[in-house]
Structure 1
Amino acid sequence: MVDPLAEVVTMLQPETPLSKIVSGTGGWSVRRSEYGRPFFCVILDGSCRLAVDGHEPITLRESDFVLLPSASSFTMSGLEPATPEKINPSTVSLLHGEVRHGIQSGLPDVRLLVGYCVFGSPDAALLVSLIPQLVHVRGERRLGTIVQLVGEESREMRPARDVILARLLEVLLIEALRSTAGTAASPGLVRGLADERLALAIRQMHESPTQSWTVAQLAKVAVLSRSAFFERFRRAVGVAPMEYLLAWRMVMAKNMLRRKQGGVAEIAERVGYGSASAFSVAFTRYVGLPPTRYAREQVES
């Protein structure tokens, strides 16, 4: 059986992230605007608050994990009220090798491991649109074990520390996406797969992308009425069924063109288009370039 989440994560090509330890004491609040860079945060000790634009504020506790696959503006703060301040990461105070916010002495109220992932796929933006825009995982035993290992490794200066930490963080990223199905995930593929009815239709789209799917056919697979399926899919995944199918077909097509896995007509057929011309029109509208030019530019670069 095709695993849609495995396909998306594999194509994302998560790479070694950059990370640092951050601590905070007393009243502190930091405002960041990070567009397009995947931001993650692991709470090592204590608690703090995260407010992501467009989402309800979250109180984070020890062992919580947060991932913003395409981070926008957000505020991190202590539990005490404080006025947010914009900071230059290169000028903030360091205490015992940690970035310290708020009171610069004494034991911290919270210690976090924060950083930015790197998605190696040229289609990262398109793939990121298929997964939740806010991942918050709590109470997952497997994830908690990985978080504990990350915390231990981050505190010790052991041989090959950076290599081990990088690998652990990659596993943490994948496990977090997999664990999100059991949480109140924001709309995206993971939330759709958590719905047993919708998961049947999503797996069929990934398993048989060449089929000329309609909403009615997918609703039948999900054993739902057409209108109920459409609304349920849109609420869970964040886009309409045909929009999701189009996005996945374009990801597949771009990947095949980059890897030179056939001509335009062959690729058109493999991603569900009846003719090369229909595929070229759809690809150009979605990607901004005709498929032949896209393939040529990939070779030149």
Structure 2
Amino acid sequence: MDMDVLSEILQSLHLKASVFLHACFRGDWAVDTSGQRRATFHLVASGGCWLHMPDREEPIALAGDDLIVFPHDAQHTISNSQHPVAEDFPRNQLPDESSTGPGVTLICGYFDFDRDSWNPLVDALPAVMIIRNDGTTGVPFSHSLRQLLIHEIEATQLGGALVIDKLSEVMFINTIRHYLNNSSDVGFVAALADEKIGKALSRIHESPSHNWNVERLAQVAGMSRSAFSGRFNHLVGLSPMHYLSRWRMTQAHQLFQTGNHSVAQVAALSGYQSEAAFAKAFKRQFGYGPGVARKNKPPNQSETGS
């Protein structure tokens, strides 16, 4: 697997993580963070509980040090009961200190990333990812990282908020790496791991503005044109040129958001000889033109003429 491609795709997320809840629950309780249109995570610091999802008939037992990530805001409930939570049962209530029984400590947080731009890795992630403390992750320091996060949250030291957020970001990246090690044979993750298709993806990401065509990418992969196109489409779910175009637009969108480039400059950096052709492709992907993207950059970015 070409980890440079993976690193670039992860960097393009502009990932930010934050913890919003650290509490010990006793008695009857339920936590449900779905419906926020944000990726969320729950780390079971101690104790045992149950994960309920509407598309799964059986609940999933959770134990201490289990990490649950919902990249696409899937509907879910985590509770003390093996049985489904009633619709009218109150959720997300702070723990009642008078409650008795075994305690379950949860750490819950958000993963925020750029959702305006297309990201093939995020699209490939499943509805829920669970990393357990059973030694099967195949990702170095995964358990130690979660324990460090728990320790930092419970220690409440100066500067802890920043450390907690950064540890949460690394935890998300480790979750992605866990998924890479346990992915199926089809999909973008499998394409990254594929010796030949991975080479082509690497070259696309190294030089997206290059004058690529299917023949040149097939040569990079060491395959015939037809075999390359078929395998690329099978793994990635897009044709090579469609993937190239979408990634170019993703990079272009980020250039508008983070710099003061003109539309003509970004068009050239994206491999387009014609500003009009670039504008048409950009609007086809985002639903609005490059001028709108350029004006709607973060407020701390100064603007120049087009």
How far apart are the structure 1 equivalents of 2:10 and 2:268? Answer: 24
How far apart are the structure 1 equivalents of 2:230 and 2:51? Answer: 30
- Picking from 112, 115, 123, the partner of 1:118 is 112
Matched, 1:130 2:121: yes
Closer/same/farther in 2, CA of residues 183 and 77 from structure 1, 3 Å limit? farther
How far apart are the structure 2 equivalents of 1:235 and 1:79? Answer: 42
How far apart are the structure 2 equivalents of 1:253 and 1:62? Answer: 43
Instruction: Please state whether the residue corresponding to 1:111 is helix, strand or coil.
Output: strand
Answer whether contact 2:49 2:78 (CA < 8 A) is retained. Answer: yes
Any unmatched runs of 5+ in structure 2? none
How far apart are the structure 1 equivalents of 2:79 and 2:106? Answer: 12
Answer whether contact 1:44 1:151 (CA < 8 A) is retained. Answer: yes
**TM-score normalised per structure 1:** 0.76
Name which of structure 1's ranges 197-206 and 230-239 shifts more when overlaid on structure 2: 230-239
C-alpha displacement at 1:172, in angstroms?
A: 1.6
Closer/same/farther in 2, CA of residues 149 and 2 from structure 1, 3 Å limit? closer
How far apart are the structure 2 equivalents of 1:185 and 1:42? Answer: 25
Name which of structure 1's ranges 44-53 and 21-30 shifts more when overlaid on structure 2: 21-30
Aligned residue type for 1:105: T
Answer whether contact 2:18 2:110 (CA < 8 A) is retained. Answer: yes
- Picking from 47, 59, 68, the partner of 2:70 is 68
Aligned residue type for 1:124: R
Matches within 5 A, 1:153-168: 153-168=152-167
How far apart are the structure 2 equivalents of 1:35 and 1:229? Answer: 40
Instruction: Please state whether the residue corresponding to 2:272 is helix, strand or coil.
Output: coil
Answer whether contact 1:133 1:186 (CA < 8 A) is retained. Answer: no
Partner of 2:83: 81
C-alpha displacement at 1:58, in angstroms?
A: 5.3
Instruction: Please state whether the residue corresponding to 1:9 is helix, strand or coil.
Output: helix
Closer/same/farther in 2, CA of residues 88 and 283 from structure 1, 3 Å limit? farther
Closer/same/farther in 2, CA of residues 163 and 128 from structure 1, 3 Å limit? same
Partner of 2:21: 20
Answer whether contact 1:192 1:236 (CA < 8 A) is retained. Answer: yes
How far apart are the structure 2 equivalents of 1:171 and 1:117? Answer: 11
Matches within 5 A, 1:26-41: 32-41=33-42
Aligned residue type for 2:208: P
Matches within 5 A, 1:147-158: 147-158=146-157
Aligned residue type for 1:154: I
Name which of structure 1's ranges 266-275 and 245-254 shifts more when overlaid on structure 2: 266-275
Answer whether contact 2:17 2:169 (CA < 8 A) is retained. Answer: yes
Aligned residue type for 2:43: V
Name which of structure 1's ranges 173-182 and 24-33 shifts more when overlaid on structure 2: 24-33
Answer whether contact 1:35 1:70 (CA < 8 A) is retained. Answer: no
Aligned residue type for 2:148: L
Aligned residue type for 1:70: H
C-alpha displacement at 1:6, in angstroms?
A: 1.9
Instruction: Please state whether the residue corresponding to 2:117 is helix, strand or coil.
Output: helix
**Number of residues paired by the alignment?**
289
Aligned residue type for 2:5: P
How far apart are the structure 2 equivalents of 1:35 and 1:231? Answer: 38
Answer whether contact 2:17 2:112 (CA < 8 A) is retained. Answer: yes
Closer/same/farther in 2, CA of residues 148 and 89 from structure 1, 3 Å limit? same
Q: C-alpha offsets along residues 193-215 of structure 1, whole Å, 9 cap, x if unaligned?
A: 23333321211110121234344
Closer/same/farther in 2, CA of residues 161 and 137 from structure 1, 3 Å limit? same
**TM-score normalised per structure 2:** 0.75
Percent same amino acid at aligned positions?
30
Closer/same/farther in 2, CA of residues 3 and 73 from structure 1, 3 Å limit? same
Any unmatched runs of 5+ in structure 1? none
Instruction: Please state whether the residue corresponding to 1:141 is helix, strand or coil.
Output: coil
Closer/same/farther in 2, CA of residues 126 and 266 from structure 1, 3 Å limit? closer
C-alpha RMSD of the superposition: 3.7
Q: C-alpha offsets along residues 167-220 of structure 1, whole Å, 9 cap, x if unaligned?
A: 221222233223431123798654532333332121111012123434454344
